[in-house]
């Protein structure tokens, strides 16, 4: 699973920075069909069954609104495409239901199945690490949300997770009736992998070409000015270094170059000033 997490971190970075991958993900996200169609049996003539059916429709519609089914469809599809996996758990508080997404550093696939559904485990140690933070208080000293990690887990996770934390267990087994994991390209393995991974070699090659082109463009854009001194500055025997003349000529050119219109009167020791065009 560590390899999958490393791959996903790289993919997320390229989704943000690479124009090709980013546009593909954006196009998929913008065109996800979130319409949910439900079919019901027709009970024409059966008054009691029709009333029961209408009641069932009302309950199902209320459930869809509570779990925000359209948002769930959108999030699950795009996350499964980007990360190859999407683990979710359905939980309720009284009559209110919601669907929560659990990231791979917290959720693990046990490799077992129950009635065709993968048995998912919550890594309690990783969960504690993820929730480790300073609890926010109000000015009056009251806790704004939760007093400690145990209270937060009891209120935001299924009851079996809170019980496992209380008992200091290593893992909590989630009820397969309320959990599921979407896996893309898993080929019978415990975890899937994003389809974007197949394109990474081509993307990295294009990135290498682009970096090389940028380096070449930067080299071509540089302005190189060569100030040539007269050979006589080296003296009759050619062993004089002429540092003083070179420093003076360089300083005069730099002062003139600072102006918008460059007018320079070279010292007699300067033979020529010219641009050098990069050959790359």
- Segments in the chain forming alpha helices (H): 2-17, 19-30, 47-67, 69-83, 124-131, 149-156, 159-166, 200-221, 243-257
176: how many CB neighbours lie within 10 A of its CB? 16
- Would you call 104 exposed, middle or buried from its count of C-beta atoms within 10 A (0-12, 13-18, 19+)? buried
> What tokens does 140 get?
């009056």
pLDDT at 33: 93
Considering only residues 211 and 39, tell me which one the structure prediction assigns the higher pLDDT.
Answer: 39
Local confidence band at 148 (pLDDT 50, 70, 90 cut-offs): confident
pLDDT at 43: 83
pLDDT at 206 over 80: no
- Name the strands in the sheet holding 85-93, side by side, starting at the edge strand that comes first in the sequence: 96-102, 85-93, 179-183
pLDDT at 221 over 80: no
Q: Quick check: 226 and 274 in contact, CB under 8 A?
A: yes
pLDDT at 278: 67
Could you read off the pLDDT of 2-22 as tens digits, one per residue? 888 888 898 888 888 888 888
Could you read off the pLDDT of 54-96 as tens digits, one per residue? 999 999 999 999 999 999 999 999 999 999 999 999 998 878 8
Considering only residues 214 and 99, tell me which one the structure prediction assigns the higher pLDDT.
Answer: 99
User: How many Cα atoms sit within 13 Å of 121 on the Cβ side?
Assistant: 14
Euclidean distance between CA atoms 226 and 249, whole angstroms? 12
Domain boundaries, the chain: 1-84+184-220, 222-276
> What tokens does 280 get?
């790359």
pLDDT at 235: 84
b/e code 7-18 from CB counts within 10 Å (16+ = b): bbeebeebbeeb
Q: Three-class SS of residue 262?
A: coil
Could you read off the pLDDT of 102-111 as tens digits, one per residue? 999 899 999 9
> What tokens does 130 get?
């993820």
Closest to 104 (Cα-Cα) out of 166, 164, 183:
183
Could you read off the pLDDT of 176-198 as tens digits, one per residue? 999 999 999 988 889 999 998 88
User: pTM for the full model?
Assistant: 0.71
């Amino acid at each position: 699973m560590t390899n999958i997490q490393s791959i996903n971190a790289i993919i997320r970075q390229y989704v943000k920075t690479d124009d090709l991958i980013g546009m593909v993900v954006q196009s998929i996200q913008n065109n996800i069909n979130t319409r949910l169609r439900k079919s019901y049996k027709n009970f024409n003539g059966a008054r009691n069954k029709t009333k029961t059916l209408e009641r069932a429709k009302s309950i199902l519609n209320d459930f869809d609104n509570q779990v925000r089914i359209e948002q769930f469809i959108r999030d699950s599809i795009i996350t499964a495409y980007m990360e190859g996996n999407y683990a979710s758990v359905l939980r309720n508080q009284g009559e209110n239901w919601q669907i929560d997404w659990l990231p791979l550093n917290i959720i693990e696939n046990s490799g077992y199945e129950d009635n065709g559904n993968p048995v998912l485990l919550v890594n309690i140690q990783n969960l504690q690490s993820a929730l480790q933070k300073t609890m926010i208080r109000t000015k009056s000293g009251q806790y704004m949300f939760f007093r400690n990690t145990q209270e937060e887990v009891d209120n935001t996770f299924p009851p079996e997770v809170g019980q496992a934390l209380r008992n200091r267990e290593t893992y909590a087994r989630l009820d397969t009736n309320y959990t599921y994991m979407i896996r893309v390209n898993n080929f019978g393995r415990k975890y899937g992998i994003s389809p974007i991974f197949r394109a990474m070699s081509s993307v990295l090659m294009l990135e290498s070409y682009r970096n090389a082109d940028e380096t070449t463009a930067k080299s071509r854009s540089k302005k190189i000015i060569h100030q040539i001194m007269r050979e006589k500055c080296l003296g009759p025997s050619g062993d004089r270094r002429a540092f003083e003349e070179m420093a003076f000529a360089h300083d005069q050119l730099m002062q003139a170059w600072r102006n918008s219109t460059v007018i320079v009167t070279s010292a007699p020791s300067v033979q020529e000033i010219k641009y050098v065009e990069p050959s790359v």
